[in-house]
Amino acid sequence: MRADRLVAALLLLQARGRVTATELAAELEVSVATARRDLEALSAAGIPVYPQPGRGGGWSLLGGARTDLSGLSAPEAQALFLLVGPAAAVSGDAKAALRKLVRALPQTFRAEAEAAADATMIDPTRWGARDRRRPELVDLLQTAVVRQRRVRLTYVNSARQRTERLVDPWGLVDKDETWYLIAGTERGQRTFRVDRITEAEPTEQHAERPDDFTLASAWQQVVGEVEERRSRTWATVLIEGRFVPVLRDHFGRHCHVDGEADDGRARVRVAAPAPLDIARHLAGWGAMVEVTEPRSVQAELARIGTELATRYG
């Protein structure tokens, strides 16, 4: 049973006061039996939702009960606003939502929550870089995910091949300012870079999504596959210990210190998709870095050195 569907049912009850299982089923696009089970689950969870039999009956939220944030503890409220606050600096919608959240908090928590929201901010632009705006297609795709509507995409892959696909959009991920769409296709789950989608047209067809799907788990699977491809070649290098943080900045999670060499230098393991990728990162270090293995990376470094010596020697 999906938590988001239960929340939607509760909000619908708040808005209308009373609904029938048939009306709820139509709103949530589920069967009447599923809608009835959802209502029963809300009641079993302690929410004052009760059935009223007979003509004009249905399910009601007793006494006009409403959800609020009064169940939050002070640390939970501060954690929530530390998370939401920075986003309000770059999003008008987030700022409006933050004001509503403050009003929903118990009076005793409001001052600390507002202070937490103002404690940090986000400036998403790197030094010397142009502003990177959220792609326009993200809003369209996000709406399709929420409404569970299929989308017809025109997509250009890394090999510049153009294809048209009808997909079931399941979720969007912002990875270091690059947006990805995770979607269901006739070949199973696929990941699409939003900046490679040249056209997107929502349809009125209902999008199917596995009952056990979670965006976090799906993205973790994608990350694992990508990182595996990015670490197919490993090399051992010797470098002065003070330069290890620079290597870590270049290679990220594919950089591991493996002890100390006899001459005091740090022994570091680094990885990349291919020997040439490692060599390109290390070539600028010159003799400050020594690659002890594998031979394939040494050969690429030698080739790059020969090319540079030929051109500039």
* Identity at 233, one-letter amino acid code: T
* Whole-number Å distance between alpha carbons of 170 and 186: 14
Residue 80: what pLDDT?
A: 60
pTM: 0.57
Sequence-ordered list of residues with C-beta below 8 angstroms from that of 182, at least 6 positions apart, any chain = 169, 170, 171, 172, 173, 189, 190, 191, 215, 218, 219, 222
CATH code, 186 = 2.30.30.520
Tokens of 30: 């589920």
Residue 276: what pLDDT?
A: 95
User: Higher pLDDT residue, 203 or 123?
Assistant: 203
Does one domain contain both 55 and 112?
Answer: no
Q: Does any domain span residue 53? A: yes
Residue 1: what pLDDT?
A: 41
Separation in Å, CA 265 to CA 178, 237, 239 = 37, 10, 5
User: If you average pLDDT over residues 34-61, what whole number do you get?
Assistant: 76
User: If you average pLDDT over residues 151-161, what whole number do you get?
Assistant: 91
* Whole-number Å distance between alpha carbons of 73 and 143: 33
Residue 40: what pLDDT?
A: 82
Residue 31: what pLDDT?
A: 82
* Whole-number Å distance between alpha carbons of 274 and 199: 33
Q: Beta-carbon neighbour count of residue 270 at 10 Å?
A: 26
Does one domain contain both 282 and 308?
Answer: yes
User: If you average pLDDT over residues 163-169, what whole number do you get?
Assistant: 94
User: If you average pLDDT over residues 123-141, what whole number do you get?
Assistant: 74
Q: Does any domain span residue 124? A: no
Does one domain contain both 152 and 207?
Answer: yes
Domain region containing 183: 136-217
Does one domain contain both 235 and 306?
Answer: yes
Q: Tens of pLDDT along 100-130?
A: 666 656 566 667 666 766 665 656 666 776 6
Q: Domain count of the chain?
A: 4
Query: 184, 217, 250 — which closes off a domain?
Result: 217
Residue 183 has pLDDT above 90, yes or no: yes
Residue 66 has pLDDT above 60, yes or no: no
Q: Does any domain span residue 225? A: no
Rounded to the nearest integer, the mean pLDDT of the chain is: 82
Residue 146 has pLDDT above 50, yes or no: yes
Band (169; pLDDT cuts 50, 70, 90): very high
CATH code, 10 = 1.10.10.10
Separation in Å, CA 257 to CA 245, 248, 309 = 10, 10, 31
User: Higher pLDDT residue, 162 or 59?
Assistant: 162
Residue 113: what pLDDT?
A: 67
